[in-house]
Structure 1
Amino acid sequence: MKYTTLGNSDLRVSRICMGCMGFGDAAHGQHTWTIDEEQSRAIIRRGLELGVNFFDTAIAYQSGTSEQYLGRALRDFARRDEVVVATKFLPRTNEEIAAGVSGQEHIRRMLDKSLQNLGMEHVDLYIYHMWDYQTPLRDIMEGLNEAVKAGKARYIGISNCFAWQLCQANALAEREGWAKFVSVQSHYNLIFREEEREMAPFCAEEGIAMTPYSPLAGGRLSRRPGETSKRLQEDGYARLKYDAAHDLDAPILTRTAELAERRGVSMTEIALAWLLAKSAVPVVGTTRLSHMEGAAKAVELALTAEECTYLEEPYVPHPLVGVMAQNTAAAAKKPHVWSVGTQRL
């Protein structure tokens, strides 16, 4: 395993982050393909053996049971100072808004619940899961800064946002002397490269780590055309993100399979090796031991410039999908506030 420093932080993390969305009680969440605690523990233990020290979960994953599974496994298999744990919080609910719960209080409640689920006194990275258009940005950033000051979160990150939103948030934090986002977790892989337009160059300029999710496109970049799996069949959200662009993406999948055959490696290794060259730490979701083993091998694989070009050539622009499509629609309904000096933030 290889390691890197996560953005403008002192967190030393493995080049592969284990994504834990696939862990959790399927009876308590929106996904039917998640795995139980016994299977999750085996994968977490194997990841640690392979040198993975970075784990990403969320309070939204299977009603917090993903956090619970991860926390119990890490307590049994690792020392707390050996691992870097990230979790995420969702926007305020309509019920909270009606009850007058502030953004700061919402963050305190969410983080305290996550720490209870994890059985930990702090998380290393606390991530703003998706932009909250019903809560002032000032409240969010102040609430996150309070979490850092209280020692409950060492650093903060953000997910599912536009580059201008990340820029706006960090500018406000810098002006106020608050904690700034050190990482961004967004949708980025060989068949969805829209982050290369603005987010990737902005992060490179500012030293912000990119930790992409869906690096294998819900399994599409790890299976040859015609191969299937339970997740490919049952993951409705992944189908929403990728099925409409199937014909556009087919040439890239074919080239990924061809290059894997030429190099004598798996498609997983090719797709992740490409992404590792583009970003800091991909968040690799896993529901099998072989998934994590393949991801670890990718760290040792270096693609040539010619091979990268071969994989990239067929790409065509894609419309935003999933959370970011919802983000676009929500942004269109709100006035843009460009000055960080206004209370409207």
Structure 2
Amino acid sequence: MANTMKYTTLGNSGLKVSRICVGCMSYGDRRGRQPWVAEEAEALPVLEACYNAGFNFYDTANGYSNGVSEEILGKAIKKYNWRRENLAIATKLWSPVGYRKENENGRWDDALAMSVEERDRKGYLNMYGLSRKHIFDSVNASLKRLDLEYIDLLQIHRFDPNTPIKETMKALHDVVESGKVRYIGASSMWAHQLLEMQYTARLHGWTEFISMQNLHNATYREEEKEMIPSLKKFGMGMIPWSPVAMGFLCRPHVDFTSSDRGTSMKGTFLGNEWTDADKKINEKVEEIAKKRGTTMTVVALAWSLSKPFMTAPIIGMSKKERVDEAVQAINFELSKEDIESIDNLYEPKKVIGFA
């Protein structure tokens, strides 16, 4: 691994992670939920480049490409002989892992898009959520796909209102005690839900979350109101998803649909139209990038890394050039004036990203 990478600890734990986390939703099979992913042959060399650049923090999930994302990450670890002790491998559970059977359009089951009733009818009974049964089953399945003996950071992908919090937190504690998981983290939920889960664990002396994977970027900062103060209270690290707003902050907004992912999003972000304020932020990021002689991606990531509550934003890298940009961002400092010029354009929004 490269010795120029910057590292920090994840929350109040002793786990050291690179300042940017490699998002593995970008790797999988195009028959799955995301038709724009890099498949195995494309993904493996990029993952090798990530490791060689010093990135030790990798985030995937059971449901990404119906489990293929975990398999590709596991293959990279073995193929390139990555030193396991150096790695911080994170995965998530909650969502159902769709069956790999093609429909009439050549696509696999998208179990996440199904209603609860439809999932149960189509063979996914007890295969999603945060029940004790699913937590244990999911951990075992993820370990098999990753071909690893343990997971460094197991995260709950979403809150499950249908399972008692006490059951979930005890099960998470028990998988840590079993040796199959080292730490636990949470993702995308209301602050009051996180508080109840953390205090349930604390009351019983069980394992607490050390991290939160939430939505945060220059165009979406609603987490700063309640969630981020809550993370500070518990000493939790923040590893946000979509720090470049699903690519919106990587290129001028007039060119956004020039990428496969931008085209698939149809000019929206999680179904919401880009606002005038969003477009002004995009233009400001472009202006700073031109002024500083770098890319918009570097500026957007540097903005994220400038925040004192930030541990490691999660960024997908489907090409080796993206790896270089991520390294640049870690070592790129924005001026106070540049940061404020982006911050001052933000306008509050409706909370999104929990579904």
Q: TM above 0.5, one fold? A: yes
CA shift digits 1:170-226 (9 cap, x unpaired): 111011111000000000000011111111122123210000000111111111232
From 45, 50, 55, the equivalent of 1:52 is: 55
Structure 2 residue ranges without an equivalent (≥5): 97-115
The answer as to whether partners of 1:8 and 1:182 remain within 8 angstroms in 2 is: yes
Q: CA deviation at 1:45?
A: 0.5
1:229 matches 2:233: no
Secondary structure of 1:125's aligned partner: strand
Q: Distance in 2 between matches of 1:240 and 1:215?
A: 13
Partner of 1:67: 70
| Deviation sequence 1:274-299 (CA, Å, 0-9, x none) | 11122110001121111221111101
TM-score by length of 1: 0.89
For residues 152 and 74 of structure 1, what CA distance do their matches in structure 2 show? 18
Number of corresponding residues: 322
Q: Distance in 2 between matches of 1:265 and 1:91?
A: 38
Indicate the residue corresponding to 2:278 in structure 1.
Answer: 249
Equivalent residue number for residue 270 of structure 1: 299
In the alignment, the residues of structure 1 paired with residue 206 and residue 133 of structure 2 have an alpha-carbon distance, to the nearest angstrom, of 17
Selected match of 1:42 from 40, 45, 55: 45
Secondary structure at 2:196 match in 1 = helix
Distance in 2 of aligned mates of 1:70 and 1:242: 29
Letter in 2 for 1:222: C
Q: How far apart are 1:118 and its partner, in Å? A: 0.1
Q: Which residue of 2 aligns with 1:341?
A: none
- Asked if structure 2 preserves the Cα contact closer than 8 Å seen for 1:155 and 1:181, the reply is yes
Judge which range, 303-312 or 150-159, deviates more.
303-312
1:85-100 aligned at under 5 Å gives the runs 85-90=89-94, 95=120
Deviation at 1:97, TM superposition (A): 6.1
Kindly provide the amino acid, as one letter, of the partner of residue 285 in structure 1.
G
Whole-Å separation in 1 of the counterparts to 2:265 and 2:87: 29
Is residue 35–residue 287 contact of structure 1 (8 Å, CA) maintained in 2?
Answer: yes
Provide TM-score, normalisation by structure 2: 0.86
CA distance in 1, matches of 2:30, 2:125: 29
Q: For 2:162 and 2:194, locate their aligned partners in 1 and report how far apart those are by CA, in whole Å.
A: 17
Question: Offset at 1:230?
Answer: 1.0
Q: Which residue of 2 aligns with 1:310?
A: 341
State whether residues 217 and 242 of structure 1, in contact with CA within 8 Å, keep that contact through their aligned partners in structure 2: no
| Aligned position for 1:140 | 168
User: Does the 8 Å contact 1:91/1:131 carry over to 2?
Assistant: no
Residue number in structure 1 paired with 2:238: 210
SS of the residue aligned with 1:21?
Answer: helix
Question: For the Cα contact (< 8 Å) 1:31–1:235, is it kept in 2?
Answer: no
Task: Map 1:1-345; keep pairs closer than 5 Å.
Answer: 1-27=5-31, 29-77=32-80, 78-90=82-94, 95=120, 103-227=131-255, 228-235=258-265, 239-241=268-270, 243-278=272-307, 279-321=310-352, 323-324=353-354, 326=355
Cα RMSD for the two superposed structures: 2.0
8 Å Cα contact 1:203/1:210 also seen in 2:
yes
Secondary structure (helix, strand or coil) at the match of 1:226 reads helix
In the TM superposition, residue 240 of structure 1 has moved relative to its aligned partner by 4.2
Please give the alpha-carbon distance, in whole angstroms, between the structure 2 residues aligned to 1:113 and 1:246.
41
| 4+ residue runs over 4 A deviation | 91-94, 96-99
* Structure 1 residue 142: Cα displacement: 0.8
Give the aligned residue type for 2:29. D
Report the secondary structure of 2:25's partner residue: coil
3-state SS in 1 of match to 2:182: strand
Question: d(CA) in 1 for partners of 2:92 and 2:268?
Answer: 23
Residue 244 of structure 1 and its aligned partner are, at CA, apart by 1.1
Deviation (angstroms), 1:319: 1.1
Q: In structure 2, the residue corresponding to 1:13 is in which secondary structure?
A: strand
CA gap 1:161/1:277 in 2 versus in 1, 3 angstroms = same
Matched position secondary structure for 2:273:
helix
Identity, in percent, stands at: 36
- Greater helix share, structure number: 1
